[in-house]
Amino acid sequence: MNKLKIDISKEIEIDEAMSASFIKHLKSRDGIVIFSPHLDDAVLSMGGLISYLSEHGLDISIVTVFTQSLDLDSPSIRVIMDRAGFSDVNLYFKARKSEDEKAARLLGVKNIQHLRFIDAAWRADNGLPIYPTYQLVDISDLDQALIPDVERKIGEILEGKGNFAVFAPLAIGRHVDHQIVKNAVGKNKNTIYFADFPYSAIASKVNGIPNSLEDQVLVEFGLGLEKKKDAILKYETQLPSFIPFSREGNLTLGAEKYHVPKSLIS
């Protein structure tokens, strides 16, 4: 098995004034709630910001949407399980939840919620996998029945987080689960979108910006990356899957990128 190394970029340049304005807005809220498609996306994409905000006393909640599996077989599932070194899917997801909890605790997050929706690789229709080989595709028509349930559950959570800053994936890479979460959370007009890492590490351009650029501003944040690195290393089952996003086995962490409604920081 290839060994992944994680480095922190030595060439991080950000707009300090814009970053400071962003942080000022976040500190003015009661806390932040992050909707993570899978059991690693929040830490992978936002670990630096999470670490910084938790050190400054903010209430941080991570809500992970797709955290379950079915008894199903497909070429995609076999690749996922072989890469992680598991044959029992229940033990695989148990390990992933444990890893995510350890990573979150390392970053100072205590509020973790799993919504128990089925991961795209395991979703089925009449016993057949909906996404048998690939999940970086358009949302299948067979997933349309699932979407209202996801939207309803997310809506219920947001009702109790009225003065919280809300984060969702931008869906760089077009993973169907990321798209579903982005669309559901994006019904909140003040949603802040994070650039999905590690997809963003190799993206030639940002795909799926939710609103026009006139309504969004790009904010980069470069603190807390050492803690983020340590947290990512907790995801032992997932490290092999990050290798394709690396350069010769070296995955570089740069500034995190957020697309923020201008009205929040102007």
pLDDT tens string 63-94:
999 999 999 999 999 999 999 999 999 999 99
Whether the predicted pLDDT of 192 surpasses 70: yes
> Which residue's structure tokens are 């699932």?
146
Say whether the peptide bond before residue 198 is cis (omega within 30 degrees of 0): yes
> pLDDT averaged over the chain?
94
* Residue % of the chain over a pLDDT of 90: 89
Higher pLDDT, 16 or 205: 16
Which fold would CATH assign to domain 5-265?
Rossmann fold (3.40.50)
H or E stretch covering 13: none
Whether the predicted pLDDT of 21 surpasses 80: yes
Mean pLDDT over 176-202 rounds to 95
Sequence spans of domains, the chain: 5-265
Query: With contact defined as beta carbons under 8 Å apart, do 197 and 45 qualify?
Result: yes
pLDDT tens string 24-44:
999 999 999 999 999 999 999
Q: Give, as one character, the DSSP assignment of residue 250.
A: E
Distance CA 149, CA 137 (A): 21
Residue 1 pLDDT: 44
**Cα angle for residues 140, 145, 151 (degrees, 5° grid):** 100
Residue 230 pLDDT: 98
pLDDT tens string 215-250:
889 999 999 999 999 999 999 999 999 999 998 899
Query: With contact defined as beta carbons under 8 Å apart, do 76 and 17 qualify?
Result: no
**Side chain identity at 18, as an amino acid letter?**
M
User: In b/e form, how buried is each residue of 77-90, taking b as 16+ CB within 10 angstroms?
Assistant: beebbeebebeebe
Whether the predicted pLDDT of 208 surpasses 60: no
Residue 265 pLDDT: 87
Whether the predicted pLDDT of 191 surpasses 60: yes
pTM of the full structure = 0.95
Distances (CA, A) of 135 to 80, 111, 234, 246: 12, 28, 24, 20
Residue 162 pLDDT: 86
Query: Please, how many CA atoms are within 13 Å of residue 93, restricted to the half-sphere of its CB?
Result: 18
Give strand pairing partners of 137. none
Whether the predicted pLDDT of 212 surpasses 70: no
- Beta strands (DSSP E) in 9-163 are 31-36, 59-68, 111-118, 124-125, 128-129
Q: Give, as one character, the DSSP assignment of residue 2.
A: P
Mapped onto helix, strand or coil, the DSSP state of residue 197 is: coil
| Distance in Å from the first CA to the final CA of the chain | 48
pLDDT tens string 115-140:
999 999 999 999 999 999 999 999 99
Whether the predicted pLDDT of 210 surpasses 70: no
**Longest distance between any two alpha carbons in the chain, whole Å:** 53
